[in-house]
Chains A and B, each alone.
Chain A
Amino acid sequence: MSSKYDVLVIGGGNAALCAAIAARRSGVSVLVLEGAPKFYRGGNTRHTRNMRCAHDAATEILTGPYTEEEFWEDLLRVTGGQTDEVLARHMIRESKDILNWIVEQGVRWQPSLGGTLSLGRTNSFFLGGGRAMLNALYLTAERLGVAIEYDAEVTDLVIEDGMFLAARLKRPINGETEIRATSLVAAAGGFEANIEWLKQYWGEAADNFLIRGTPYNRGSILKMLLDKGVQQVGDPTQCHAVAIDARAPKFDGGIITRHDSVVFGVVVNKHAQRFYDEGEDIWPKRYAIWGRLVAAQPDQIAYIIFDSTVVTSFMPTLFPPIAGQTIAELAGKLELDPAALEKTITEFNAAVRPGTFDHTILDDCVTEGITPPKTHWARKIETPPYLAYPVRPGITFTYLGTRVTKEARMLMADGRPSANMFAAGEIMAGNVLGKGYAAGMGMTIGSVFGRIAGREAAKHARN
């Protein structure tokens, strides 16, 4: 059995659906192959919440202007210059229009009510979160007549001389089949859920990583494309990793396993030693660095230690903190050496200098005479009960991807553009994000390049 479509979209997240809708709106036939079952459709988009778009004036949902130039500077800052300027600037320009286009596809915004992140000016929040956003896109795609298959595991891509011919597919019921299409849009995410692949770069440490998204983000399409001569982009060791609760499930713990309490205490490793300046930077940069820091520690585990005076200063947490009336008791519960933890906390407390605490700015609460220092927000940990969260690296997404042009067209290893293969979303995010991350950029990349890929793939199919 085989069938033929104008545009085949592999993947089922934000980028894939934007591509499918854009292509379908251009009047061509479109099939979406989502590898996951319906509940888990959408990959990481399920767990997202907002999107960063440039805009020239405040809107109903955004508190102020966020210019193209400011977006560009933010991108430059987080990536340390590891970005393709032409692509990035193109994306930022297109992001202005996406803000409205995505609403036309049924996605709804909400005002930022909770203020859990200070993003009311730069980022638009999906009403109901990422899954609500996905639900809206799927409803629109279905209404427009896009064909969608779940549990659709692509086992092979037939590519000849940079030209996509067909995808081989294993269906749970109908068995093996081949689907031909005039154009391909690959929007199948990264490989963060593929521990074996991660191990190639991280070694055995990857066994201790927790994956924040679904177990379906295995990067199989990415691997096929790279194996078949598509040019690679991005550093395979680069990924968005944050410190999440060590008690979280191995996969799909999503947003609720995060901790934002680092500034209120200290972080120690399994030897009860501090290893990095907990006061180095402001949210969200500090949020984004702790995954890598913990990944570099023995057994990839660390503990955020704080005291009872600050428990209501940060977001409520899914898992309650582990508590002890003394530092030694807490150490016992964490299976740390009590004497070592007492020494670390005592030395830290002795090094704290008086200042005025304000966690929203780089304040003047500092330590003196210890290594590493805590350069802001340093306050003594001295009011029992003493509390701790165990944390591990939580991998959100990876940056290794396929190189693309401004038209989202894949480039082959020899530098020639592919005739009919396009990529969008996490699978090509590394073009724009060489490293680092700023909230909501993944969704911007997905929607902007998704729409471009869909249009271009449809244009190719019509010709």
Chain B
Amino acid sequence: MHGTRILDEADRLMTVCNSCRYCEGLCAVFPAMEMRRAFSDGDLNYLANLCHACGACYVDCQFSPPHEFNVNVPKTLAVARAGSYAAYAWPKVLSGAFARNGLVLSIVVAISMAAFILGFAALNDSCVLFGVHTGPGAFYRLMPHNAMAALFSAAFLFAILALVMSVRAFWRDIGTPIGGHADGGSIFQAIRDAGELRYLDGGGVGCYNEDDKPTDRRKLFHHLTFYGFLLCFAATSVATLYHYLLGREAPYPWWDLPVVLGTLGGIGLVVGPIGLFAVKMRRDPALLDEFSYGMDVGFIAMLFLTGLTGMLLLFLRETWAMGPLLALHLGAVFALFITMPYGKFVHGIYRFAALVRYAQERRTAA
């Protein structure tokens, strides 16, 4: 017996799958399963986070519902995956945030945005908030750069700490069979697998979305979102270097590197989340983990909000709307940072850790 009902079900399914093994060529979950005959909580959490929910094993399974063996691996592992986020969350007291993620997110977002708007208004008179500011340092007339940097660094560092602590607990739990630290080769392999979403392709044909005709749409939108996020992150990093190393203050002209990176990333963060949401709305309900619906949609919405406010800020930064938009954008980014360890963002981190472990297991077995 396991800690939760869903892990019991995952164990039952892995026992069925391990006596069949027809799916072993589809993704990493099944070869990883075949290396075991019994499954600890850690094993099941590992397998759950290796699953990319492409749905191929469900469509290909002889025993999926309505068959009495009732084998639904993507959905069961999706529920188990969400459970694993809460199980390894740090600090423990915040693990409940996953279950009420939608609510938590909306409150945090609302408070963050309101705080920035009120903060701007309190720091400055309302002429400044709605004034037209141009030229270097325009943003900082609303909020001093050092205050901005301090606030966001604190939020970011907290998120990093919480994520490191969580994934450390996860890594220890899934590492029992072979133990040890991740090696460079396995990390490199995992970076490649994660970077190309190798296991979100149904074994080569694409992801199963609304029916039994596979497509690669989910992969495409995920790529747009993920690389959009990375580009925005890179834009912020370059801007920070500009500020401290070159003494060049934002806003930058449209052709300058931070703006180019941010624009491309912003497009990704607007189009990607819209696509992911559309795909989710149409997805076969049999494959969906309805319990995580709020968390999934919440995270998609957060990324979209970040991208959208950023893009609007870029287009309208020389008008009276800059002040309010900057407040909204900073509020969204701030909320995104501090909720990162307690929402869907962690799926990328856990999946990456699971991919590293899988690469390691493969190398050990070879």
| Interface: B284 (CB within 8 A) | no
Q: A128-B26, A249-B68, A312-B37 are in contact. List 13 more A-B contacts (CB 8 A).
A: A39-B67, A110-B24, A114-B24, A116-B21, A132-B22, A135-B59, A139-B212, A252-B62, A252-B67, A255-B22, A256-B16, A316-B19, A317-B19
| Interface: A47 (CB within 8 A) | yes
Q: Are B20 and A255 in contact (CB under 8 A)?
A: yes
| Interface: B312 (CB within 8 A) | no
| Distance of B238 from chain A, by nearest CB (Å) | 43
| Distance of A284 from chain B, by nearest CB (Å) | 16
Q: Are B56 and A128 in contact (CB under 8 A)?
A: yes
| Interface: B181 (CB within 8 A) | no
Bound-state CA distance A249–B56 (Å) is 25
Task: Give the chain A neighbours of B285 by CB distance below 8 A.
Answer: none
Q: Are B62 and A131 in contact (CB under 8 A)?
A: yes
Given A113-B24, A130-B22, A316-B18, A254-B63 contact (CB < 8 Å): yes
Q: Are B19 and A256 in contact (CB under 8 A)?
A: yes
Q: Are A128 and B213 in contact (CB under 8 A)?
A: no
In the complex, which residues 186-235 of chain B have their Cβ closer than 8 Å to any Cβ of chain A? 203-205, 212-213
Q: Are B213 and A46 in contact (CB under 8 A)?
A: no
| Distance of A80 from chain B, by nearest CB (Å) | 31
| Interface: B23 (CB within 8 A) | yes
| Interface: B25 (CB within 8 A) | yes
Q: Which residue of A lies closest to B66 (CB)?
A: A39
Q: Are B203 and A128 in contact (CB under 8 A)?
A: yes
| Interface: A372 (CB within 8 A) | no
A-B pairs with lowest CB-CB distance, top 3: A129-B22, A110-B25, A128-B60
Bound-state CA distance A129–B61 (Å) is 8
Residue from B23, B34, B59, B63 in contact with A256 in the complex, judged by beta carbons closer than 8 Å: B63
Task: Give the chain A neighbours of B205 by CB distance below 8 A.
Answer: 108
Against B, the Cβ 8 Å flags (1 = close, 0 = not) of A107-141 are 01011011010000000011111111001000100
| Interface: B15 (CB within 8 A) | yes
| Interface: B48 (CB within 8 A) | no
| Distance of B205 from chain A, by nearest CB (Å) | 8
Against B, the Cβ 8 Å flags (1 = close, 0 = not) of A282-306 are 0000000000000000000000000
Q: Are A46 and B37 in contact (CB under 8 A)?
A: no
| Interface: B42 (CB within 8 A) | no
Q: Are B212 and A47 in contact (CB under 8 A)?
A: no
| Interface: A361 (CB within 8 A) | no
| Interface: A339 (CB within 8 A) | no
In the complex, which residues 56-85 of chain B have their Cβ closer than 8 Å to any Cβ of chain A? 56-57, 59-63, 66-69
Given A113-B31, A252-B67, A108-B204 contact (CB < 8 Å): yes
7 A-B residue pairs with Cβ-Cβ distance under 8 Å, sorted by A, are A39-B66, A128-B57, A135-B60, A254-B20, A254-B63, A317-B19, A318-B15
Q: Which residue of B lies closest to A50 (CB)?
A: B22
Bound-state CA distance A312–B37 (Å) is 8
| Interface: A55 (CB within 8 A) | no
Band of interface residues on B: 20 to 34
Bound-state CA distance A312–B38 (Å) is 11
Task: Give the chain B neighbours of A108 by CB distance below 8 A.
Answer: 203-205
Residues of B that sit less than 8 Å from A by CB: 15-16, 18-26, 31, 34, 37, 56-57, 59-63, 66-69, 203-205, 212-213
Q: Which residue of B lies closest to A142 (CB)?
A: B213
Q: Are B62 and A254 in contact (CB under 8 A)?
A: yes
Task: Give the chain B neighbours of A132 by CB distance below 8 A.
Answer: 22, 56, 59-60, 203
Task: Give the chain A neighbours of B15 by CB distance below 8 A.
Answer: 316, 318
Task: Give the chain B neighbours of A39 by CB distance below 8 A.
Answer: 66-67
Q: Which residue of B lies closest to A312 (CB)?
A: B37
Bound-state CA distance A125–B205 (Å) is 17
| Distance of B23 from chain A, by nearest CB (Å) | 6
Bound-state CA distance A252–B61 (Å) is 13
Q: Are A127 and B25 in contact (CB under 8 A)?
A: yes
Against B, the Cβ 8 Å flags (1 = close, 0 = not) of A238-257 are 00000000000100101110
Task: Give the chain B neighbours of A116 by CB distance below 8 A.
Answer: 21
Q: Which residue of A lies closest to B34 (CB)?
A: A114
Q: Which residue of B lies closest to A47 (CB)?
A: B62
Bound-state CA distance A135–B62 (Å) is 11
| Distance of A216 from chain B, by nearest CB (Å) | 13
Q: Are B62 and A129 in contact (CB under 8 A)?
A: yes
Q: Which residue of B lies closest to A311 (CB)?
A: B37
Task: Give the chain A neighbours of B212 by CB distance below 8 A.
Answer: 135, 139
Task: Give the chain B neighbours of A318 by CB distance below 8 A.
Answer: 15-16, 19
Q: Are A114 and B19 in contact (CB under 8 A)?
A: no
| Distance of A12 from chain B, by nearest CB (Å) | 15
Q: Are A128 and B34 in contact (CB under 8 A)?
A: no
Q: Are A127 and B20 in contact (CB under 8 A)?
A: no
Residue from B18, B62, B66 in contact with A46 in the complex, judged by beta carbons closer than 8 Å: B62
Bound-state CA distance A128–B62 (Å) is 10
Task: Give the chain A neighbours of B60 by CB distance below 8 A.
Answer: 128-129, 131-132, 135
Bound-state CA distance A48–B205 (Å) is 21
Bound-state CA distance A254–B31 (Å) is 21
Task: Give the chain B neighbours of A135 by CB distance below 8 A.
Answer: 59-60, 212
Bound-state CA distance A130–B16 (Å) is 17
